[in-house]
Amino acid sequence: MPSPVTVSGGDVKAGPVSAPVIPLLLIGIGGYLAWFGIHYWRSDLKWPSDPVKAILQGKGLPATAQPAPEAAQLTALTSAYTGTEGAYQGSLPAGAAQNTAKLLLSKYGWGLDQMAALNTLWGTDESGWNSRARNPDSGAYGIAQALGHGGVDTAAPDGTNEYGAQYGLTAAEARQANAGSARWQIEWGLGYIASRYGSPDKALAHENAVNPHWY
């Protein structure tokens, strides 16, 4: 109830005036909702309810994030240890060679079930996934243990020339393989297996069937 008005000595004095709290509160809420609605519809801010907005606007549900394409994953995996022609970079991060091989299996129509045979072939029997491995008896080199496949234009700066421009590699890529690039040794090795045996498990079966072991 408003304070009473009193008259004293000819002056009119009013008591303390109560502020209209509820109308001000409603105005504030209305202003915020208007601000929210404008920005929400313009999509210049991110809101948890954006999928609902997308449906209301007839756009359907927002697309879920897709994994990077295989080529992008392979580039990311190998960027630490492969370089451009003539730029041969350091050693492999742990497990990167195996991960690169996994990504490349599908290129040849193989599933991940072939990884066990490949790991036995390269991880246990041949090179231990070491891109600098050298067989002291035969001279075979690298992860795929290539031997004598290089040509006149595929030798690395140190003269190593066991990987050649075949099985999917260009001469420039073969030079990188000969210089210790795990990426291109794996590419060459998988191409070799596909051409000669058809699959890693068949290559391993051949390796186990001959003595001394080779594939």
- Long-range pairs for 102-106 at CB < 8 Å and ≥24 separation? 103/70, 103/73, 103/74, 103/77, 104/74, 104/186, 104/187, 104/190, 105/190, 106/70
Q: What is the DSSP string of 51-83?
A: HHHHHHTT--SPPPPPPPPHHHHHHHHHTTT--
Residue 84 pLDDT grade (very low, low, confident, very high; cuts 50, 70, 90): very low
Distances (CA, A) of 16 to 43, 143, 207: 47, 90, 101
- Whole-angstrom CA distances from 213 to 134, 203, 210 are 16, 11, 5
Peptide bond preceding 212 in cis form (omega within 30 of 0):
yes
**Full-model pTM:** 0.63
Burial (CB count within 10 angstroms: exposed 0-12, middle 13-18, buried 19+), residue 22: exposed
What pairs with residue 13 in β-bridges? Answer: 6
Task: Determine the pLDDT at residue 103.
Answer: 87
pLDDT, tens digit, 9 for 90 and up, residues 92-132:
555 778 888 988 898 899 999 999 999 999 998 889 999 99
User: Which residues on neighbouring strands pair with residue 146, listed in sequence order?
Assistant: 141
**CA angle (3, 21, 7) in 5-degree steps:** 15
pLDDT at residue 194 is higher than 90: yes
Q: What is the pLDDT of residues 125-147, one digit of tens each?
A: 889 999 999 999 999 999 999 99
pLDDT at 176 over 60: yes
Model pLDDT for residues 149-175, shown as the tens digit of each residue = 999 999 999 999 999 999 999 999 999
Residue partners of 88: CB distance under 8 A and separation at least 6: 156, 157, 176, 179, 180, 181
Could you read off the pLDDT of 14-56 as tens digits, one per residue? 455 555 667 777 777 877 777 667 766 666 555 555 666 666 6
